[in-house]
Structures are given as C-alpha cells and as structure tokens.
Structure 1
C-alpha cells in the first residue's frame, strides 16, 4: 500500500559535486599554509608582544575616542590569537617563548569591562592550554587560573548568562564549560572559592536550562570541594544541589546519606529514587577507633 511506502533518499543526494569538494579542499590547504606562514615568519610572536604591551599600558589610554579604538583593537587582536591557537602545536611554542603571555591573559580576563569578546577569547586560549598534551602547558594554564581575580571574572561571565535576558554575543554553554574547567584546577589558592563562585556553581548544578553534562560536572566539583573542606555547607549564602533532583537548598534542608556521608538529598523520595545509581559508589565512612 502507498501509505506504507518508505521514502528512500539516494545515498549521494546531498553530496557536493567532486569539483566543489576539490575546490573547498584546496581553499583549506591554502588557509593552512597561510597560517603556518604566520608562525614561521614570527608574526604570531609579534602579535603576542603587542597584546602584552597593550595590557601593560591600558591604564595610560585617555577616556576618549582613543579608548574606543583601543578596545576595538583589543577585540580584534584577542580573537585573531584565539583562532590561531587552534594550531596549538605551533601556538604553544610561541606562547612559551613569550614571558608576558600569562600576565596578558590574566589582564584580559579580569578586565572584561574593556572588551568582553576579548576576555572570552582569552578564556578559550587558557582552556586550550589546560587540555594540552604538554605538562608544562597545563601547569602554566593552572597558574593563570590561580591568579587573583581570574575565577571571580569567569564566574561573572556565567552570572551574566544566567541572569541576563539580553543576548550577550557569546555562547553561554562555552562560558559555563570554561568556568568548570578552571574550577577543576588543583590547589586553588585560599579564598578562590568565594561565596559568589560557590553559589554560581550551585546554580549551574541546579539549573534546569543548563546542559546535563555541565550540571553533573558542577555537582561533582561541589562534592569534591566539600570533601576537601574547601567549601562549608554552612557557608553564608551558599546553597547546594540535591543529588537527585538538583534543587538548590540550604545545608539544613539537605540530609546526608547515613552510610557515606557524601550524597545529599532534599527529601526521602529523592534519596530512594537516587539509590539505584548511588549504591554503585556509596562506601561507608571508616569509624574512628
């Protein structure tokens, strides 16, 4: 019967013609050659040097049309460098050769009131360093994250995405991912996990409009911080998520698992619902002798 017929689309229906694919491939090859040439001729190193100079002299720029031009140049420069950092095999060498790179990144991230797009670009470069194959790159990125004001600035970006109904010009999910990546750095300095940072992390863990993987990562970080004593459940103004329904609650509203003392639930119903998964990792706390 005609009603039971299946619509069969030929496998090659949506394939580009061979000539178009060859042309596109050639353009990609030309672009790759051009980018490699920028590294070989030292252009990228000079751009990094310009960024360092701008960060060092920003306070000297008068608050007039020159400041507007400064911010425009900062936006273009940071975004060009962020795109070039996609070739991290080459970009990493230039970055390591520039002693002021870390200082530049800290300045751009923490001075997002100059140019927000430039700060997001800086976040992406540091995040790319955190997943580098080279131990020294990851260590350098971790040092940047530990600098005063960096985590607070990354948190401000997330707060803006959570609170603002205005399109801010960047992907909120990317910003949340950068923030979670930064918070995953080991040996954060005392005071880095401020009430604002922790409360925002809780909002991400409990957010109904946030991607599931981000919610799970945020909840995992909160459990780690609690276990390490870096965050207190009684910290003023801090709410924590229920491990089952993700609802944000104050510490007195959550009941701990009596066995492992780690998982927290807002109701007996949530605890029963979460037991199927929780029992796989629930380990009894050792008793003191």
Structure 2
C-alpha cells in the first residue's frame, strides 16, 4: 500500500471518529436536556396555573391575575395551613438535629477509625437510599403494629412516630455529605494543632468542625428540605393531629380551586429555592451532592 493511500485511510478514520464523537455528544446533550425538561415541566405548569384568573378552566389559561396570591394571607388560617406549617417545621428541624448528630458521629467513626465493620456500618446507614419510601413507610407501620400486638406497647401515630420515620429515610443524606467532607479533609492540620499543644477537644472545635462546616450545612439543608417535603412516609406515620404541609395540601385538593393550591405550591417552591441558592452561595453545597 502506498504512502498516499495510508494517509488517506488515517484521514478517513479520524474524520469518522470525529463524526461519531460529535453524534454521541449531541445525543448526550439531547438526553440531558430532555430529562431536565421532563422533570421541570410539571413545576412550570404549576407556576403558570397559579396565575390563571378563573377558578376552574382549561389549558392554556385564557386570562391572568395575581388574585390567588393576594388571597393567600386571608386563606392560610382557614385552610388549616398554619398548624400544618408549624408541625412541618418542628418535624423538619428535629430531623435535622437528629440526623446531623447521628450521621456526623457515624461518618466520623467510618472516616477516622479502621475497625472491622466500618464498611458494613456505612452500608447500613446508606441502605434507606436503596428502598422506595413507600416500602420503608409501610415497613415501619407494620413494625409498630407488631410491637403493639405482641408487646402491648400502645404506640399511637403521633409526632414521635413521624419523626422516627423521617429520621430513618433521611439519615443517609447528612451521613453522606459529612463523610465526603471528612474524606477530603487534610488531617495534617489536626496534627499541626496538636504539635502546638492544642488538646483533642480544642482541635476538634477549632480546626475540624470549621473545616467540615460545608458538609455539615449541606447535610442539614438536605435533611430539612427532604423532611419538610416528605409526603409518603408522613402518610403512614402521622396521626390525626400531626398533619404536615404536604398532607394538608393533598387533602385540600378536592375542596380548593387548583389555582389556590398552585399559588401555595409556588410560594413553597420559591422559598426552598431561595434557601438552596443561599446555601450554595455561602457554602457550595453542590460539591457534596
């Protein structure tokens, strides 16, 4: 084969490889953008419906209005959202405290100590991510029912059962973010502090905790948002006096205009988005997702 023919084959192969790489890149981008559109479309529709003037109407909206937002302050109490919001905040904040504390201690043990069952402990703590929340909530409900039947404990659905369910399903998120921050931590800084006669407690409070604060804050934010928006587990484990905001909104679905609920949902979405953006700007939580 002549030298010219060899160069032509190499050129054709390079052009074919570039064409395939370009096609793969286009398909990948198309898949990513299609997935984003699929996930965002329902949320965009909710926002659009919240500005629809008529109480019940078709799609697309024929006229636009801010009336549903202006009516919110007057209807929040009558819709029972004040009590539901209080319960959601109590459960979410309690979940944050418990999951960050337990997850932080577990992550510290896994990252710092090489013991026999460290991998098993990590797998156990992250295992709720594998199972659907529907299965987890139903399983917890069955366990509570079994304890009541066999041991006569008389456990009733209340704030505490709701909190227990939220902690179980949300614990993996703070554990993972804190573990990631500890694994990327420069341990020589602690050694330097101890060389300067700092005590172990002082080293942890002055060196370790400030440096892993982004992981702690990320885990706390994830825990709060997931707990506040949790519906499935709350459906199984909440009592008659412990309705959270998601449960209350679902119960209002058949009694309230869709535009009213869409306005409420838009306000909640915007509030959560503001919290996430502030956390990202202040702590860079995307690095621990």
Q: Structure 1-normalised TM-score?
A: 0.24
The TM-score, its normalising length taken from structure 2, stands at 0.24
Which of the two has higher C-alpha Rg?
A: 2
Which protein has greater RCO, CA pairs closer than 8 Å, 6+ apart?
2
- Larger helix percent: 2
